[in-house]
Structure 1
Amino acid sequence: MRIAICGGGLGGLTLARVLHRHGIEATVYEREASRSARSQGGSLDLHPESGQRALAEAGLAGRFRSRARPEGEEHRVLDPTGRTLVHHEPDPGSFSGRPEIDRSALRDLLLDSLPRDAVLWGHRLAAATPRSEGGCDLAFDSGHRTGCDLLVGADGARSVVRKLLTGVQLSYVATLVELSIEDVDRRHPEIAELVGGGNLWCVGANQILAAQRLGDGSLRVGISLRATDRPLDSKRALLDIFDGWDARLTTLIEAGDSAPVPRAIETMPIGTRWTSRPGVTLIGDAAHLMPPVGEGANQAMLDGAELAGHLAANPADPDAAIRAYEEAMFTRISPIAEMSARVQAMMLSDTAADDIVRFFTARPTEAASTG
């Protein structure tokens, strides 16, 4: 059985790794030119019941612990005046919670666990065409063509594979603008002290200015706003939005080494399902695009591990394996998508500061992991 995984993100790589452990070959087609072609983003926390469980299925739990940063669970929440509302500090060196790991380090861990020829770089899927006899023909922007018996769409928010299963439309729910600050401890010690060892949220009405420490000594700054069409690609435009905020907070924008990079945050409707189709399925954002509040990567990795488990348990009937995976995934994802939507709305509400403080007080571990 020829298995094609379109997308070399965390979900697709986890699927390929767990299949490999079961002696099942799969080819990952990734649009990026190489593993170092672009930045992989910030840090994420791996949840024991999802991301860490997937890594255990992949046989990589020990390697994860050697690269993770439990101190990254530190979380500070401030108001626009700089007053501390919440300060969550993890137990030093403890892996009992949801330790942070840089996305790039986690992706490298997964890539290094696969055969060298398992990932084909520079393969952006242009079209997938079902065959009458089963399987799909695949065409890539590069001109390369191939076929497969089983196609897994791990190709993210704008999934090409998704169109084979559902015509669901995405909704624009928020705007995220990102900047980065390199070598923060040496170049900006006052900012390093403000952020601490993990995450900082500065929360106002309908807007959040956040910063996240990475393992390489840099900071990733993120500005979350309600959906807007106003231009946000300059520091001046961002500083205008935070006019009147404490100057210690807005230095996070002024110190940015990169130009601001705005992007639309889109989601799929909660409860999205499709009728199972032989030889094709979806994982991760292709299957259940949610707001970025701490669940997306974790659920994508668990999707990959669970789909691989079903395929390994029923190799003679992959379509039955797909149906079993999809039904379990739909059931698991629906309440998580509902929770993610509530958290997203809370974070950008008129009363966000009060709501977030109550959220942290009620569920400190879960709250500290969002972002």
Structure 2
Amino acid sequence: MPRHRLRERLNRGAEAKLTLVAAPAGFGKTTLLADWLGEWVAAAPQAAAGGRAGAWLSLDQGDNRPASFWAYLIAALRTVVPDTGAHALSLMGAPQPPPVEAVLAPLVNELAAAPYDVVLVLDDFHVIDSSEIQARMAFLLDHLPRQVHVVIATRADPELPLARLRARGELVELRAADLRFTPDEAAAYLNEVMGLELAVEDIAALEGRTEGSIAALQLAALSMRGRDDVAGFIAGFAGDDRYIVDYLVEEVLRRQPERVRRFLLHTAVLDRLSGPLCDAVTGLDGGRAMLEALDRGNLFVVPLDDRRRWHRYHHLFGESERSTPVRPDLVEPLSERELDVLWLLGSDLGGPEIARELTVSLNTMRTHTRNIFAKLGVNNRREAVRRADELGLLSRSRRR
């Protein structure tokens, strides 16, 4: 769905050194950038005088090795500037590679010779936690030629000199507040894209409940399909909807360190969050520092004052956490769908029968089963059922 106001901001960013698109999971960062980049390049093809070219690099945890990161970055640039990077790659492949700055300097010089504008998108940059890579990225940004621009999509702010770039007018930022659907965008998405016929007041209610999160709106739309009482569903829509729970567990909780998961689970009972209050609930120190880290990491906390002493959780996230069964011995909760599978694992049904019962593919059922085994710390179905019984999970049938 076209989002012209955001594309205009990104167009301005293509004239700056760095565009930072930072927001939690579910705000449509990758989709927005992919659509914009294709449109931006098509407006002035590389073959034309003063043309444009776009390179894209999707990152994962395995790219935290500096040698791998820079090799992939250079390879991405070579897809649009073929005559660049060969010398840098040969230096990196030497038995004793020189410092990264010595590799990047010739790369920068070669990029400066490009006869057209180049945008390099680094998607999922939040997975890069190597301080060495972050420091060398700062070096690259400081020395970028004027026709090369970097776009970073991330869930958390990178360790880059953002304040300096901001002060120099070399940084364009899109945050969660910018990416949220406006009421008009929410109406167009729900009624035109998703094929629903919702009243204005229903759209306003959903937009308020989801706080403009694109993924939450999409999941709400999926939940509404085939329902007769749509208005009733919207009135009761909350974070305990099975799609919301599954999404948040997969995309948020599972990716966090154990100490963060424990903090989120224990403090979800609070309507408002402060450092001392969180310390009282968790029985640990460091609540304020944790809230600051969650705020920087875009982990579904919303500041309530300018000094950021008080926060709250995103509505759906807080409701999801409060509704998810958590036992003292189970750090990572089971999602609603995993509880469905677990309940059926306690029956005499085989894997194919369970998949049919839940109207999912056999591969999906097996994926849920592997996740259940990992969360319960077991190796097979019998152990899973016994462990679930010990935790009291089987006493609460989750089937609907």
TM-score when normalising by structure 2: 0.28
Q: Which has the higher contact order (CA 8 A, sep 6+)?
A: 1
More strand by share: 1
TM-score when normalising by structure 1: 0.29
